[in-house]
Amino acid sequence: MCQLLGLNCATPTDASFSFTGFCQRGGNTGEHADGWGIAFFEGRGLRHFVDHESAANSRMAAFLQTYPLKSKNIIAHVRKATVGEVSLENAHPFVRELWGRHWVFAHNGDLKDYFPRLHTHYLPVGSTDSERAFCWLMQELAKSHAGTPSVAELTLTLRELVPQVAQFGTFNFLLSNGEALWAHCSTKLHYLVRQHPFAQATLVDHDWTVNFAELNQPGDRAAVVVTTPLTTNEQWAAFEPGELKVFVDGLPQA
């Protein structure tokens, strides 16, 4: 299985701390050595990096750990290949356009015999079940709304669409359009919200402790979503199986 990492923030935030610990799971402290990727939204733009090398050994991943790109929405993934060969086109996260915005998607799990009917606008480039699922979600979202919907409307539509994919297997995923972060749990997903008063955090996978009180202002806030908790001394909340959450400005929405 793969590993997911997502950040949704009230103000542009860098992911250096979380991404550094997360990368260790890509071939060092974890077996997920079959590629990695990360996407940073910046306004309506997107910085998208993928590699078929392991995150623990990738020079590009090492560079990004020390180059603090700031974003309000970030999605990262380290891969253990189950469906589809180890190649650049099969590295998550995947990107598509819808309603004039970039959409980013990363998946953890296996979908058995999943070959949905796809139209020509949304077709996979690689050979993963994950990209097929993403293409189908984009296709069905486009069909469900005549104009650009609100985050609340998109959430309602996703609650109808996601079970149609999840019936084929394990469907843990992160999805963002730069306005919000949607996270769905089939088997395992955790989150926390870092906000004032900030405290120290120590990584599980790397010898690094950060005092966020020294780095953040009272108005800063970040929701962090991850497959397995990244830190040893913070309170992580587990998703319920089948639960879909949406995060806006660093907070889960009702």
Model confidence pLDDT, tens digit, residues 99-157: 999 999 999 999 999 999 998 899 999 999 999 999 999 999 999 998 899 999 999 99
- For residue 240, tell me if it sits in a domain: no
Catalytic residue among 2, 9, 23, 135: 2
What pLDDT digit, counting tens, does each position of 190-219 carry?
999 999 998 899 999 888 898 998 888 889
Residue 174 pLDDT level (bands cut at 50, 70, 90): very high
Closest CA relative to residue 194, chosen from 151, 154, 237 = 237
Classify residue 138: in a domain, yes or no.
no
Domain assignment present for residue 254? The answer is: no
Is residue 155 in a domain?
no
The answer to whether residue 156 is domain-embedded is no
Which structural domain, as residue segments, surrounds residue 66?
A: 7-107+171-230
User: Does position 18 have pLDDT exceeding 70, yes or no?
Assistant: yes
Structurally, how many domains does the chain consist of?
1
| Domain containing residue 20: CATH number | 3.60.20.10
Tell the residue number behind the tokens 């997502």, with chain if given. Answer: 6
Domain assignment present for 24: yes
pLDDT for 186 equals 97
Tell me, yes or no, whether 123 lies in a domain: no
pLDDT, mean of residues 4-22: 93
As beta bridge partners, residue 245 has 183
CB atoms within 10 A of CB 118: 14
* 3-state SS assignment for residue 118: coil
Amino acid letter, residue 116: P
pLDDT digits (tens, 9 = 90+) for 47-96: 999 988 888 788 888 889 888 899 999 999 987 656 657 678 999 899 99
Q: What's the pTM?
A: 0.95
Whole-angstrom Cα distance, residue 221 to residue 251?
8
Active-site residue, 135 included: no
* Residue 54 maps to a domain: yes
